[in-house]
Chain A
Amino acid sequence: MTNSSVPVTTGNVRPHPTQNEALLFEISTPGKHAYKLPPLDVPAVDAASLLGATHRSQSAQLPELSEIEIVRHFTRLSTWNYAIDLGMYPLGSCTMKYNPRVNELVARIEGLAEAHPYRPDSLAQGILEVIDLLQRCLIEITGMDAITLQPAAGAHGEFTGILLVRAWHESQGNPRKKILIPDSAHGTNPASAAICGYTVETLKSNAEGGIDLDALTRQVDEDTAALMLTNPSTIGVFESQIAKIAEILHAKGALLYMDGANMNALVGKARPGDFGVDVMHLNLHKTFSTPHGGGGPGSGPVACKAFLEPFLPTPVLVQDQDGAKHWNYNRPQSVGRVRAFYGNVGMFIRALAYILANGPDGLRQTTEDAVLNANYIRKKLEDVYDLPYKTASMHEVVFSDKRQAALGVKTGEIAKRLIDYGFHPYTVSFPMIVHGALMIEPTESESLEELDQFIAAMRAIAKEVEETPELVKAAPHSTRVSKLDEVTAARKPILRWAPAVRPNAR
């Protein structure tokens, strides 16, 4: 739609041209190198004779490039990404907050980054102290009694937490059969429960998008192992009946599992351990600022009450009387290991750096600002976008596309148009209890100026929906690629590059 003679501006955005960049394999030329090994200081060996039939005769077709080409390749690719560093990233339930750079620096300190997991505990006291301090901070923040840092991500934490639930029920003589999960839950919840051998029973949300206490009372029985509850919920609402929910569950011997995806609304203000939660996971890559990195690594610690502690994955960190720390593997009731070694330790370092930077006041202020930002957006957009649930919002606000859909424009299309205004889209079509959801989580990291720009963009799009809906429906207009053909991608998957004619391997 752009006329090349005139600079086009949408909101405060101008198109940003970048070079094309082919695949590594396409720019490869035989004979180029980006590496040099030091001279071999031991006798060379004849690999073919040493390895015999297990020797690799044909080299893998990896690219052959010089260092500058590699740097330019990945730098160019990077410019095709949106990122928190470029602007607001209001993905609901993802908590895309600022990733402090000091975290990156300290995670690379030699003594920490180069520690082998099997080095003797006596040579690992520094990293064990870091792990111990993080554990104590997270226990305090959640109000729980014990913790494991082993799970590698949120879903892995859910799996671990439900294993604890199961192990406890087994110790009581009956593992029970089902896990209750609200219809507003993230898809990982039911998937995690299923791996633990449970059937999943859906709990229908009430008119406010929260837990329906009557339905809960009806559905909790002696077969119920636990309820997996996200609090605040995926529509950003705190379950004010949480104590009652815990009571209903506990009365039938069932446990309360909390998905801590939305802890950014609670840190320093309320503690799950104080409102009846038995076991929960945290996402260090959400609440505690470790970078999302284009999809990971994450870290999903699981905190629990004391009665679940014997079941934590092995090993657990313990301290001798003289203060030395070591790993204890002698845990007869443990659910077992959920991962090799001890977890995504590099993420622990970053999360602790974040906690140290904030302190108690900073953590509380962070939560307050996250909630303030979400409510500000709600206030400034509720006259143009439908708000299906009027309940008070915490750290995120969920609109629906009801008014825009009536004009033929859906949430996914509005999201794509937001890209033209220089923002990453909000979360689209989730939670599923809201038809055509626009799920917006600004986090605390947005200034008033950035929020106002986002609000202006959302209002401008709402206006476009009324006046020039086709403009919105064809969005985005400013990106390197236009809408991609996902149907063909799935129908005839091309999942790797292949040369037209395979060159003969040496």
Chain B
Amino acid sequence: MRYLPKSPAEREKMLAEIGAASIDDLFAVIPAEDRMNRDLDVPRAHAESEIIDYFRAAGRKNATNYASFLGAGCYRHYRPVIIDSLIQRGEFLTSYTPYQAEITQGTLQAIFEFQTMIAELTGMDVANASMYDGSTGAAEAVMMAVRVTGRHKAVVAATVHPEYREVLVTYTKHQGLPETLVSYDRETGRIDLSSLEAAVTEETAAVLVQSPNFFGVIEDIPAIAEIVHAKGALLIVSIAEAVSLGVVRPPVEADIVSMEAQSFGVALSYGGPFCGVIAAKEKYVRQMPGRLVGQTVDGNGNRGFVLTLSTREQHIRREKATSNICTNQALVALMATIFLSVYGKEGIRELAEHNLAKANYAAQTLSAQPGAKLRFTGAPSFHEFVLQTEEAPAQWTQRLLDNKIVGGIDLSRWYPELQNCTLWCATEVITRKNIDAAADVLAATPAEA
């Protein structure tokens, strides 16, 4: 086996040194009836070339040459080449969690830079080293708010990503933490402020909203914060599209921000691995979940970095820890850090403006087709929009597919009231040609298709 660095003779030599007659001696501790006495029924050993062939064939079966208007929590942006060159350096790729600070300063400094950039972008004081993803990060943020406030109820906007909300329910249902869902304004697509005001009480630990929300609409964070804070609750803002922060005002009124940083240079990869991160006001840092890197000095006064405040974590506090998280998404956070270094202060704004322009053109062009109109036009949006068609989406979806276009996703899957409504996304990688082609297909009558 090519990954195993031993010759048969060396194995024999080692067994002799140990004083074992055969390798089976070392497994004798496993009762005979529990041992496996046959080969595993898995595919035979493959040559490297065969492995590549197998996965290339799978990739082809997946179909690659489609223009896609899918977003909904997973966004295709251009990924600068140096991301993959740098993260594939073995010193990053094959290193462990940086518990031994003296020989992991590279990872530690990079995480410190990540924490700084996330804090800058979100308008928060501090950020952690990463969470699994945006969905689990949002759930952890709610549990963090429960610890901070000592209250045990949550209020959640219906415009938070439906799968994030499902994850939140899974996390909180066994902790006596009921959730109230607050609906959205049918004109603006924003959270309904009067319903929110009615839902938030003196028992509310946290209000979770998303901005841009699941419909792509940017929420009125200052107005929401006022309602939330009036009752002493914490405001958690979930951000599923990190690139929006290049041009959208950061949620500085929030107490906690839970962000999915996938848009910062991370491949779609059929939904993962992504990169969640929690940022917060400094006063809440000791209730944060996950790892934190802090700056310090060594014995000679040199600057260095260490994992810190670990008394919050499971390896010290066990069942009283702020979270059970151990392994996070470090290498993906490194991708985001490199992405943000490449775009930098001006580039992230320019990139976000390009997204805004593409989506604006797409929204105008698609909604100009017969039988189509935009929903939720009463509030600004970033690069996603909701299109309502007279024709059922199932019909034009197939016509688009026939033309190698994946159109918007049907929202009635999660919002039964939004019949014939689809969520479209146009990032900078969508071309005008893609948009015009999609519009032409939408305009074509079914009989012609």
CB distance from A393 to the nearest CB of B (A): 8
How far, in whole Å, are A240 and B82 apart by their CA atoms in the complex? 50
Q: Does B346 contact A (CB under 8 A)?
A: yes
Q: B247 touching A56 by the CB < 8 A rule? A: yes
Q: B62 touching A353 by the CB < 8 A rule? A: no
Q: B58 touching A130 by the CB < 8 A rule? A: yes
Within 8 A of A (CB), among B91-148: 91-98, 100-107, 109-113, 115-117, 119-121, 125-127, 129-130, 132-136, 143
How far, in whole Å, are A355 and B271 apart by their CA atoms in the complex? 22
Given the complex, which residues of A lie within 8 Å of B249, measured CB to CB?
51, 53-57
Q: B74 touching A447 by the CB < 8 A rule? A: no
CB distance from B10 to the nearest CB of A (A): 5
Stretch at the interface among B40-48, B368-376, B437-445: B40-48
Q: A83-B90, A114-B64, A240-B30 are in contact. Are A127 and B42 (CB under 8 A)?
A: no
Q: A25-B116, A337-B166, A489-B294 are in contact. Are A111 and B90 (CB under 8 A)?
A: no
Q: A153 touching B328 by the CB < 8 A rule? A: yes
Q: Does B208 contact A (CB under 8 A)?
A: no
Given the complex, which residues of A lie within 8 Å of B325, measured CB to CB?
153, 155-156
Q: A416-B102, A490-B308 are in contact. Are A116 and B74 (CB under 8 A)?
A: yes
Q: A23 touching B112 by the CB < 8 A rule? A: yes
Given the complex, which residues of A lie within 8 Å of B19, measured CB to CB?
379
Q: A447 touching B6 by the CB < 8 A rule? A: yes
Classify chain B: how many residues form its interface, as a range: 35 or more
Q: A113-B268, A339-B135, A497-B113 are in contact. Are A371 and B27 (CB under 8 A)?
A: yes
Identify which of B3, B98, B409 gathers the most chain A CB atoms within 10 Å of its CB. Answer: B3
Find the B residue at minimum CB distance from A343: B272
Q: A115 touching B268 by the CB < 8 A rule? A: yes
Given the complex, which residues of A lie within 8 Å of B306, measured CB to CB?
484, 486, 489
Q: B347 touching A35 by the CB < 8 A rule? A: yes
Interchain residue pairs with CB less than 8 A apart (14): A40-B354, A50-B356, A56-B349, A63-B341, A80-B105, A81-B105, A81-B107, A112-B59, A123-B66, A191-B324, A342-B271, A345-B270, A486-B296, A486-B308
Within 8 A of B (CB), among A61-77: 61-65, 67, 70-71, 73-77
Q: A45-B353, A47-B247 are in contact. Are A89 and B273 (CB under 8 A)?
A: no
Given the complex, which residues of B lie within 8 Å of A296, measured CB to CB?
130, 273, 327-332
How far, in whole Å, are A496 and B126 apart by their CA atoms in the complex? 7
Find the B residue at minimum CB distance from A160: B170
Q: A294 touching B84 by the CB < 8 A rule? A: no
Task: Kindly identify which residue among A94, A126, A166 contacts B62, using a CB–CB cutoff of 8 Å.
Answer: A126
Q: A54-B380, A63-B345, A294-B330 are in contact. Are A119 and B96 (CB under 8 A)?
A: no
CB distance from A47 to the nearest CB of B (A): 5
Given the complex, which residues of B lie within 8 Å of A33, measured CB to CB?
344, 346-347
CB distance from A366 to the nearest CB of B (A): 7
Q: A47-B356, A116-B270 are in contact. Are A110 and B107 (CB under 8 A)?
A: no
Classify chain A: how many residues form its interface, as a range: 35 or more
Task: Kindly identify which residue among B110, B270, B332, B360 contacts A74, using a CB–CB cutoff of 8 Å.
Answer: B110
Q: A444 touching B4 by the CB < 8 A rule? A: yes
Find the A residue at minimum CB distance from B14: A376
Q: A120-B406, A496-B112 are in contact. Are A112 and B136 (CB under 8 A)?
A: no
Give 1 or 0 for each of A166-196: 1 = CB within 8 Å of chain B CB. Answer: 1000000000000000000011101111111
Task: Kindly identify which residue among A79, A187, A196 contacts B317, using a CB–CB cutoff of 8 Å.
Answer: A187
Q: A47-B247, A140-B40 are in contact. Are A342 and B270 (CB under 8 A)?
A: yes
Q: Does B181 contact A (CB under 8 A)?
A: no
Q: Does A338 contact B (CB under 8 A)?
A: yes
Find the B residue at minimum CB distance from A49: B380
Q: B101 touching A481 by the CB < 8 A rule? A: yes
Known: A372-B23, A485-B298, A494-B296. 11 other contacts (CB 8 A): A21-B109, A76-B106, A81-B91, A152-B136, A188-B314, A240-B30, A295-B328, A296-B327, A343-B272, A484-B306, A488-B297
Given the complex, which residues of A lie within 8 Å of B349, measured CB to CB?
56, 59
Given the complex, which residues of A lie within 8 Å of B11, measured CB to CB?
369, 372
Q: A117-B271, A119-B70, A191-B319 are in contact. Are A292 and B96 (CB under 8 A)?
A: yes
Q: A481 touching B271 by the CB < 8 A rule? A: no
Stretch at the interface among B150-158, B225-233, B384-392, B428-436: B428-436
Given the complex, which residues of A lie within 8 Å of B315, measured CB to CB?
186-188, 430
Q: A60-B121, A191-B318 are in contact. Are A77 and B110 (CB under 8 A)?
A: yes
Q: Does A435 contact B (CB under 8 A)?
A: no
